[in-house]
């Protein structure tokens, strides 16, 4: 190793004791480097400062106008404190849940479009620190806005009429929602899509943030005006909101981390864990909280509540399953040495972690695993309906829900499987035989669009020809969307189930599944053999083949001089 970094420290007169300097230096080392960089940039840039100045001016104007507008004799008795707090609350929500996420997202988007991310990942800085740093920096900026409002809030408290419990709960919810909004904005900014698609995503984000801001403002009004949080059910709503925000943040965090990590790394591990564990964890917590905080369980039979709860869980699992298929068909076909270096040496552990590792072969198993878990939930629902409880005791909308849906559910899953595997095999063929690289999800999107178009075309032709069977317009044979719809909504109409396209669709699903499963299975079996840890580096190093030297090492230039009397 060379010794470049050997400059002596500058000696300046010291007025601060050494131990204090050391302590300050240690303190300065604590924050994540990204947080330090982001905050420095925020201080030097005009955007964050302009936002803060604008915020302070608007806050001053609003509060000033409110106070000037209120007759002096009402100051003691009215709920002026309440109104002032509400005004500040609205201002805070618009700034921290609406504008701050856009600022954070734009910063990441601008940074990831050039060489900067490469430079960061050429250092020992890990992607998880990057995402966490961006989130924490936004949190610090957000807290700056909160602290800017602290004096006015304190004043609102002294103006009377302010419910401390309600206001504290709302502020806590604001901070959590701010974190969620920032993390979702970072996720959108991290998506590796072309600029037009990024613009569409950005617009979607703006609409989403606008909706959240409107909802939070209306909730704040309800809480402050009607003393909302004074009933148990209200607390339940607050907890559900907080829990949803927490899980969405966690989900978006792992997804952003996966998108920003270099493709050769095992970048999907944490995201897959989240995808597998989030729906049940969220739903179990929700069930427990509804039991503790609401009288839902007293108002209804408990098995009805559990039944409804199970239906909700299957919906979450369904969406997670689709996402898993989409990711599986887009993952890399082969594992690189960087990932294989992280494969456990224990065979049993290898089997357990296999579905969660990055790679198409792993992704397919993971998607199947989620489907199996969902079917396990459906079977539990069926058992409840058929054997454990009498269905007649259920409300009408719950009666035989699983029994009615189970047939459409498996055909729907079959469609998803066939579409996913067809897209995967097409992509695999183009990549390995033709050398063309297409992301799996793009192939799936094109495939679905084409078949949907054919379905719509069939429907138009059917109506032009006055075809008597209106079921043609449903185009079950090709279009997966009606069946997917049926999984989310209620079971299919009896008329549709009995008509000819539906049985045809079932047989088509079975036939196409076999057609697609066989080549995929052959590929998978061939591939899975390579999921082994690499030999230890020492052994490999001894076996390596010699490589040609570009030039012999000349060493540093040396000059010999004859010097008289040197001894």
Residue 33 CB, shortest distance to another protein, in Å, is 4
553 binds another protein (CB under 8 A): yes
Nearest by Cα to 505 from 451, 463, 468: 451
What is the rounded CA–CA span in Å between residue 502 and residue 22?
75
Chosen residue from 15, 16, 25, 69 binding another protein by CB under 8 A: 25
Q: Which is nearer to another protein, 5 or 147 (CB)?
A: 5
What is the rounded CA–CA span in Å between residue 162 and residue 151?
14
- Residues 100-139 within binding reach of another protein (CB under 8 A): 110-111, 114-116, 118-125
Q: Which is nearer to another protein, 133 or 412 (CB)?
A: 133
Tell me which H or E stretch contains 8: none
What is the rounded CA–CA span in Å between residue 550 and residue 538?
25
Say if CB 35 and CB 142 are below 8 A apart: no
**Candidates 54-62, 345-353, 435-443, 481-489 — which segment interacts with another protein by CB under 8 A?**
435-443
Q: Which is nearer to another protein, 119 or 284 (CB)?
A: 119
Question: What one-character DSSP code corresponds to residue 473?
Answer: G
Interhelix angle 481-488/302-330, rounded to 10 degrees, is: 150
Say if CB 520 and CB 421 are below 8 A apart: yes
> CB under 8 Å to 256, separation ≥6 — which residues?
131, 183, 186, 187, 190
What is the rounded CA–CA span in Å between residue 431 and residue 439?
10
Chosen residue from 12, 29, 392, 465 binding another protein by CB under 8 A: 29
Cα Rg of the chain, angstroms? 31
192 binds another protein (CB under 8 A): no
Residue 181 CB, shortest distance to another protein, in Å, is 23
- Residues 403-432 within binding reach of another protein (CB under 8 A): 431
Residue 322 CB, shortest distance to another protein, in Å, is 28
Q: Which is nearer to another protein, 334 or 495 (CB)?
A: 334
What is the rounded CA–CA span in Å between residue 529 and residue 524?
9
SS (H, E, C) 227-263: CHHHCHHHHHHHHHHHHHHHHHHHHHHHHHHHHHCCC
41 binds another protein (CB under 8 A): yes
Give how many residues touch another protein by CB under 8 A. 66
Distance of CA 195 to the CA centre of its chain: 21
489 binds another protein (CB under 8 A): no
Q: Which is nearer to another protein, 70 or 527 (CB)?
A: 527
Nearest by Cα to 440 from 515, 356, 522, 331: 331
**Which 3 state secondary structure label does DSSP give 269?**
helix
Say if CB 393 and CB 298 are below 8 A apart: no
Residue 28 CB, shortest distance to another protein, in Å, is 8
- Residues 224-263 within binding reach of another protein (CB under 8 A): 262-263
539 binds another protein (CB under 8 A): no
Residue 344 CB, shortest distance to another protein, in Å, is 15
**Candidates 29-37, 228-236, 386-394, 456-464 — which segment interacts with another protein by CB under 8 A?**
29-37
CB atoms closer than 10 angstroms to residue 189: 27
Chosen residue from 13, 194, 555, 565 binding another protein by CB under 8 A: 555
Give DSSP secondary structure letters for 160-229. S---HHHHHHHHHHHHHHHHHHHHHHHHHHH----HHHHHHHHHHHHHHHHHHHHHHHHHHHHHHHHTGG
Say if CB 189 and CB 106 are below 8 A apart: yes
Chosen residue from 11, 298, 392, 545 binding another protein by CB under 8 A: 545
Nearest by Cα to 458 from 478, 472, 477, 479: 472
534 binds another protein (CB under 8 A): yes
- Site track 265-294 with another protein (rule: CB under 8 A), x = hit: x-----------------------------
Chosen residue from 151, 192, 204, 264 binding another protein by CB under 8 A: 264
388 binds another protein (CB under 8 A): no
Q: Which is nearer to another protein, 31 or 519 (CB)?
A: 31
**Which 3 state secondary structure label does DSSP give 414?**
helix
Say if CB 141 and CB 55 are below 8 A apart: no
Q: Which is nearer to another protein, 529 or 541 (CB)?
A: 541
Q: Which is nearer to another protein, 113 or 301 (CB)?
A: 113
Residue 433 CB, shortest distance to another protein, in Å, is 9
- Site track 315-344 with another protein (rule: CB under 8 A), x = hit: ---------------------xxx-xx---
11 binds another protein (CB under 8 A): no
Residue 351 CB, shortest distance to another protein, in Å, is 23
- Give the binding site for another protein (CB under 8 A): 1-10, 22, 25-26, 28-29, 33, 36-37, 40-42, 44-45, 110-111, 114-116, 118-125, 262-265, 336-338, 340-341, 431, 434-437, 534, 537, 540-541, 544-545, 547-551, 553-557
């Amino acid at each position: 190793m060379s010794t470049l970094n050997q400059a002596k420290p500058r000696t300046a007169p010291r007025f601060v004791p050494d131990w204090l300097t050391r302590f300050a230096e240690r303190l300065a080392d604590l924050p994540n480097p990204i947080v330090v960089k982001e905050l420095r940039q925020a201080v030097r840039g005009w955007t964050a400062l302009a936002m803060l100045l604008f915020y302070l001016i608007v806050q001053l104007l609003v509060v000033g106008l409110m106070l000037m507008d209120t007759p002096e004799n009402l100051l003691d008795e009215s709920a002026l404190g309440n109104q002032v707090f509400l005004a500040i609350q609205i201002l805070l929500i618009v700034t921290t849940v609406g504008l701050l996420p856009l600022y954070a997202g734009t910063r990441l988007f601008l940074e990831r479009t050039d060489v900067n991310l490469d430079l960061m990942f050429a250092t020992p800085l890990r992607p998880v620190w990057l995402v966490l740093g961006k989130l924490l920096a936004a949190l610090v900026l957000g807290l700056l806005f909160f602290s800017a409002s602290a004096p006015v809030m304190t004043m609102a408290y002294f103006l009377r009429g302010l419910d401390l419990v309600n206001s504290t709960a709302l502020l806590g919810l604001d901070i959590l929602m701010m974190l969620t909004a920032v993390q979702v904005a970072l996720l959108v900014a991290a998506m590796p899509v072309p600029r037009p698609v990024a613009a569409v995503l950005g617009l979607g984000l703006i609409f989403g943030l606008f909706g959240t801001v409107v909802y939070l403002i209306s909730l704040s009004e309800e809480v402050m005006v009607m003393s909302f949080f004074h009933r148990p059910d209200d607390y339940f709503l607050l907890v559900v909101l907080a829990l949803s925000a927490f899980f969405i943040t966690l989900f978006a965090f792992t997804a952003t981390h996966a998108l920003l990590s270099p493709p050769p790394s095992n970048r999907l591990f944490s995201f897959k864990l989240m995808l597998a564990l989030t729906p049940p964890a969220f739903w179990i917590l929700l069930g427990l909280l509804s039991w503790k905080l609401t009288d839902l369980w007293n108002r209804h039979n408990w098995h009805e509540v559990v039944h409804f709860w199970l239906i909700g869980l299957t919906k979450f699992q369904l969406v997670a399953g689709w996402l898993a298929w989409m990711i599986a068909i887009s993952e890399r076909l082969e594992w690189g040495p960087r990932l294989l270096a992280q494969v456990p040496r224990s065979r049993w552990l290898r089997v357990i972690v296999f579905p969660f590792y990055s790679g198409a072969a792993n992704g397919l198993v993971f998607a199947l695993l989620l489907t199996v878990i969902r079917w396990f939930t459906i079977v539990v629902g069926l058992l409840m309906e058929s054997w454990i409880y009498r269905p007649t005791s259920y409300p009408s909308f719950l009666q035989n829900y699983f029994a009615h849906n189970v047939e459409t559910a498996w055909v729907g899953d079959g469609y998803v499987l066939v579409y996913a595997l067809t897209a995967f095999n097409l992509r695999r063929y183009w990549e390995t035989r033709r050398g063309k690289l297409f992301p799996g999800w793009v192939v799936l999107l094109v495939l679905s669009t084409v078949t949907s178009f054919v379905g719509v075309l069939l429907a138009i032709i059917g109506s032009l020809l006055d075809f008597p069977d209106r079921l043609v317009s449903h185009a079950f044979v090709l279009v997966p969307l009606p069946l997917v719809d049926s999984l989310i909504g209620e079971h299919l109409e009896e008329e549709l189930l009995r008509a000819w396209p539906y049985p045809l669709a079932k047989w088509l699903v079975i036939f196409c599944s076999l057609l697609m499963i066989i080549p995929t299975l052959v590929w998978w079996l061939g591939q899975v053999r390579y999921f082994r840890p690499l030999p230890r580096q020492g052994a490999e190093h001894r076996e390596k083949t010699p490589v040609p030297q570009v030039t012999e090492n000349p060493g540093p230039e040396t000059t010999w001089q004859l010097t008289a009397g040197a001894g």
